[in-house]
Amino acid sequence: MTQTMQDPKDILIIGSGVGGLTAGIILAKLNHRVTVVEKNRLAGGLMRSYTRDGIDCPVGVHYMGSLDRGQPLRRLWDYLGVTPLIPLERMGSEGVIDRYIFDDFTFDLPEGIDAFEENLRSSCPGDNSHITSIISDLRHTSHVLSSLDILISPAMTFLSPESFTSMGEHLQRMGCSSRLLSVLGVPPTLIGVPLQECPAFYYHMTLASYLLSSWRLACSSSQMADAFVSHLASVGGDVLTGDGAEKILIESGKVKGIVMESGRTLKAGAIIAAIHPATVAAMLPGDALRASYAERISQLENTKGLFGVNLAIDAGAHAALPYNIYQLYSEDGVLSRGIFHQLRRSTQAGINLLSMITTSSIEEWNEWIRTPSGQRDQDYMDAKEDKARRFIGEATKLFGSLTGAKIVDIYTPLTIRDWVHSPDGSAYGILRSTRQVMKTAFLKRTLIEGLFLAGQNNLAPGIMGTMLGSFQTVRNIIGHERFSREVIGDFL
């Protein structure tokens, strides 16, 4: 087989998160020689959990949508071959996937658009006509998502100019009540975008994917990471861990390989950077990118970081819950603060794990910004613990007394920054806001032959958004015709 840019033989992938591993498995299945390089000792990026006091703590996988048989994410997993390796547990068994608790009312997000519509109508009786319109748009996007048109139709013909306008402004123009605005403000937090800035398309995709069906892992998320890694190996791909990519080598406008932190050079016909584009730009020779492209990357706004607390609690006192709880605070119908809670069985008998997560910007941790994880002082530990204790206090309003609960671990945006090299500890990468729609559209065109981007910054964040983005990257590499024949043809 001749090696052309449409068909590069040796492909290096920088970053072993779900984005890099997904691209790796598809290309290895198509008989490319694939090597994924990972700076951390263990592969998996945000997908991988960690263990403290024998308890497994999740990082970037708390729940996922659309994994029922025939649903979009499940079809991607089936194509890759990872489904049998990842035990899952369906959420919503009590009619609730997410419980939203506001000061003055509670809303249950159920499985299914019909049930969602019914709950909206009973919670917001004065919004009937608005709800009809919102549900109609949601059904349309759910259909687009289910048909996987996003992979089949490269021109994205299902998008209209309205797809990129603000969902929040649209709802306000319709005259939705502040209660309805509060409820509808929660789903875009799952991709780190405030409702007011969230393009309608991203809004509907995120909500629709969880309404189709929602799932938790019935295993540690390290098992999910291992499933992707072992499956990549079984289709002939390699993962090199514990050595980060430092420089991307370019010759005559074309990628040649990577210089690793260890000094080792790896050659490649194509490189997929499944990491943040700003990190990629810093790895390129100074003149490799057009000045305008480099400038735009440097100006891109990222999503905020997250602060998380994992708490071990007596399973006898607090039973695991089959749904998540969001404690929410609104001001004038605008969501101002929220805390996500997930109470589930832990990997230790008799102990349940309560994970609590909220938004936190890196500025809050400015004092320690120049220090690496594992080397921060006691003041940092104290600041983390103080904040965690305030959270635990708030959580007692939801769960009752948490006496005897033990903090297993606390993480800040600095932790995430250092673990996966995410700029400023951004949880979901580039902010997918209406303001940045045009700025992010150009990103794929690096104009360097053989250099492609993947990962959550390519299309959208979240496990589903990241994986769809990686499928699209492979389509760009091998061309739409071959992609339709050899990839899509296999699972549609």
Ligand X SMILES: Cc1cc2nc3c(=O)[nH]c(=O)nc-3n(C[C@H](O)[C@H](O)[C@H](O)COP(=O)(O)OP(=O)(O)OC[C@H]3O[C@@H](n4cnc5c(N)ncnc54)[C@H](O)[C@@H]3O)c2cc1C
Binding residues vs ligand X (CB under 6 A): 14-20, 37-40, 45-47, 59-64, 244-245, 274-275, 279, 306, 308, 357, 416, 420-421, 427-428, 455-456, 461-463, 466
Nearer to ligand X, 247 or 480 (CB): 247
Backbone angles phi, psi at 2, to 5 degrees: -75, 145
Nearer to ligand X, 40 or 433 (CB): 40
* Residue number with the smallest Cβ distance to ligand X: 17
CB of 102 to ligand X, least distance (A): 21
User: Which residue from 84, 150, 66, 163 is spatially nearest to 471, judged by alpha carbons?
Assistant: 150
CB of 37 to ligand X, least distance (A): 5
Residue entry with tokens 């699972």: 491
* CA distance linking residue 446 with residue 253, whole number of Å: 10
CB of 52 to ligand X, least distance (A): 15
Looking at 212-319, which runs of residues are DSSP E strands?
214-217, 238-240, 245-251, 254-260, 265-267, 270-273, 305-314
Q: At a CB cut-off of 8 Å and minimum separation 6, what does 140 contact?
A: 204
The dihedral sign for the CA sequence 215, 220, 224, 230: negative
* CA distance linking residue 11 with residue 287, whole number of Å: 23
446 token code pair = 């690096």
Nearer to ligand X, 269 or 413 (CB): 413
CB of 456 to ligand X, least distance (A): 4
Q: Which amino acid is at 47?
A: M
CB of 464 to ligand X, least distance (A): 6
CB of 457 to ligand X, least distance (A): 7
* CA distance linking residue 337 with residue 258, whole number of Å: 42
CB of 463 to ligand X, least distance (A): 4
286 token code pair = 């100074």
Q: What angle do CA 180, 186, 187 make, to 5 degrees?
A: 110
How many residues would you count in the chain? Answer: 492
How many CB atoms neighbour CB 119 within 10 A? 17
Nearer to ligand X, 92 or 308 (CB): 308
Residue 424, SS3?
helix
Nearer to ligand X, 211 or 463 (CB): 463
Nearer to ligand X, 18 or 448 (CB): 18
Nearer to ligand X, 60 or 110 (CB): 60
Nearer to ligand X, 117 or 469 (CB): 469
123 token code pair = 């919670």
* CA distance linking residue 9 with residue 1, whole number of Å: 9
Give 179-191 as a DSSP string: HHHHHHTSGGGGG
Nearer to ligand X, 219 or 274 (CB): 274
Q: Which amino acid is at 377?
A: D
CB of 235 to ligand X, least distance (A): 18
CB of 472 to ligand X, least distance (A): 13
CB of 287 to ligand X, least distance (A): 21
Give 98-128 as a DSSP string: EEEE-SS-EEEE-SSHHHHHHHHHHH-GGGH
Nearer to ligand X, 127 or 226 (CB): 226
